[in-house]
Structure 1
Amino acid sequence: MTGIVHSIQNWLQHQTLLETLGVITGLLCVYLAARNNIWNWPFAIISVGLYIFIFFSAHLYADMGLQFYFMAMNIYGWYFWSRKHTVEIKRPVVLITARQILYASILVAVVTPTLGYTLVKLAPVLHYTPASFPYLDSFCTACSLVAQFYMARKVLENWLIWVFVDIIYVAVYLFKHLDLTAIMYAAYVVIAIMGYIDWKKDYKKQTA
């Protein structure tokens, strides 16, 4: 038992303050989003700002670039959720449409190979370390673009996309030795499932 405690303490000592803060704020923002709480957005902005530096250090350039998009979408989401009719307590949850599914599929199909190819070719030109998993990273980035936008628009199915993407991210971050981040994304999977269940309840209350 003492050996296990010592191993945990040793592991914690090797985690960076930047990643620890990113994980804490990241978990808070996703939990609050799952609870349909508008205060998820300021925590999301802080977490995203920290992960710009974390992913740059880990050579996950697609993920780093994605954080700038997240930053803009977090600001937009905060604004959009704040806009509601005076009789509404919260911005209502909506279901995804066939057109939104089509647009999302096209975006993922276009962004994945384009971004992946760009990451492969750009590294030697800019004298950067080659990107890790360029095409897998680009696929997850494309899916995240869709999921984040649909979260900002309060589309219920955004949580299902996050479950799928976060499972992939857990494996990627474990391989890159971002252990705390991998644990955070494993927690994201659970929270995303909770978020889908809670938002679905809210949707049913609205329709009732």
Structure 2
Amino acid sequence: MLLDWLNSTAVTAFGAPTSWAEVLGFATGALCVWLVVRQHIANWPLGIANAVMLSLVFLDAALYADAGLQVVYVVLNAYGWWHWARGGNGATLLPVRHTTRAEWIGQVAAGVLITAGLCWWLATHTDSTTELPDAATTALSLMATYGQSRKLLESWWLWITADLIYIPLYGYKGLWLTALLYVLFLGLCVAGLRSWRRAVVPA
């Protein structure tokens, strides 16, 4: 079965077995973020494939909030794909802009509620040992993906914050290839911030 193959060991990275799902998650994730930096619309379908791969990885590692987040990512990637396409012909005509005060208030409020709710659920309904970082990164990632779908410049700062938590979290869970992927993501996020800052439309 395809699922059995995806969960089977592809390579050993840093002394830990690495599944085909994690390898494919690494490849699709790296390419996806590179395409976002370039404001290319193909990042969205590739992001859907990445979410499917990483959901298998996180379920196996008992990172349940991250696994559930991938389901939400599929929906958000479909929305982002539609929104960017609606913004013009191709990848780049939806303008990059700053996050408004109202958007910040809404996103921060949602982020706090999501973090608190997930912490409670993970602590009471799962065997998770990393409730707070798992919940916080889930909330930050949802906020960042929403901002990315609207081409909000500050979404890159949210991704950078999430990546700085994800890297040690995945290392702690023995997901070394995924941790390395998020080191790459961190570098690409810095590049994306600089690139989008040059493209931002003044208020």
TM-score, reference length from structure 2: 0.88
Unaligned runs of 5+ in 2: 1-10
The correspondence of residues 20-35 of structure 1 with structure 2, limited to 5 A, is 20-35=23-38
Q: Which residue of 2 aligns with 1:166?
A: 163
Query: How many equivalent pairs are there?
Result: 192
Deviation at 1:156, TM superposition (A): 0.8
Structure that is richer in strand per residue:
2
Question: Of the candidates 114, 135, 141, which is equivalent to residue 144 of structure 1?
Answer: 141
* Greater gyration radius: 1
CA contact (8 A) 2:95 2:151 kept: yes
Question: Of the candidates 4, 19, 23, which is equivalent to residue 22 of structure 2?
Answer: 19
1:191 and 2:160 equivalent?
no
Q: Which residue of 2 aligns with 1:64?
A: 67
The correspondence of residues 16-165 of structure 1 with structure 2, limited to 5 A, is 16-85=19-88, 90-123=93-126, 130-165=127-162
Cα distance change of structure 1 residues 23 and 85 upon mapping to structure 2, 3 Å threshold: closer
Report the identity percentage. Answer: 31
Cα distance change of structure 1 residues 13 and 63 upon mapping to structure 2, 3 Å threshold: closer
Distance 2:16 2:119 in 1: 34
Structure that is richer in helix per residue:
1
Cα distance change of structure 1 residues 194 and 120 upon mapping to structure 2, 3 Å threshold: same
- RMSD over aligned CA atoms reads 2.1
Cα distance change of structure 1 residues 9 and 165 upon mapping to structure 2, 3 Å threshold: closer
Q: Which whole-Å deviations, capped at 9, do the CAs of 1:95-153 have from their partners, x for residues lacking one?
A: 10111111122112211121111111112xxxxxx013112211111111111101011
TM-score, reference length from structure 1: 0.86
Distance 2:71 2:16 in 1: 29
Cα distance change of structure 1 residues 57 and 83 upon mapping to structure 2, 3 Å threshold: same
Unaligned runs of 5+ in 1: 1-7, 124-129
